[in-house]
Amino acid sequence: MMTRLQEFETLTDTEEFFDFFNVEYDEKLVYVKRFHIMKKYGEMLAKAKEQEFVNDEIKLNFYKFALISVYKNFENGYAPSAADIWSMFDKPSACGSCSTATSCNSVEEVSSGVHA
């Protein structure tokens, strides 16, 4: 039987992350901004790797907070700069919905910068 953290690590689609944490979201916003949301979320997960968490529950709470925080920034009108957008094209993503045909296999890929 998988732990909740192991289950989290199997998620691949943006909507799966929201559903996993039972976070309400605007489907249209996620559809339009999914790449940017996941890029910023991946950056926050990478920062989480530098931290030591007491247990998996606290780590998952951080992951949930990070997702909500990133989403709320976009919901409130955050727009990446032109430099951010152009730099994304210099670093192809492993995300099947982005610039390559391969799919993301784990949160490891997202948080290790493969997504970024």
**pLDDT for 31-78, tens place per residue?**
999 999 999 999 999 988 888 999 999 999 999 999 999 999 888 876
5 within some domain: no
**For residue 35, what are the domain limits?**
15-111
In a domain, 4, yes or no: no
CB of 87 closer than 8 Å to CB of 95? no
Counting the structural domains of the chain, the total is 1
52 within some domain: yes
Spatial CA neighbour of 88 closest among 97, 77, 99: 99
Report residue 101 as tokens. 């045909």
Alpha helices by DSSP H, 1-116: 4-8, 14-20, 27-49, 56-75, 82-90, 107-111
Residue 24 within a domain: yes
Residue 111 binned pLDDT confidence (cut-offs 50, 70, 90): very low
Question: Do 89 and 45 touch, CB atoms closer than 8 A?
Answer: no
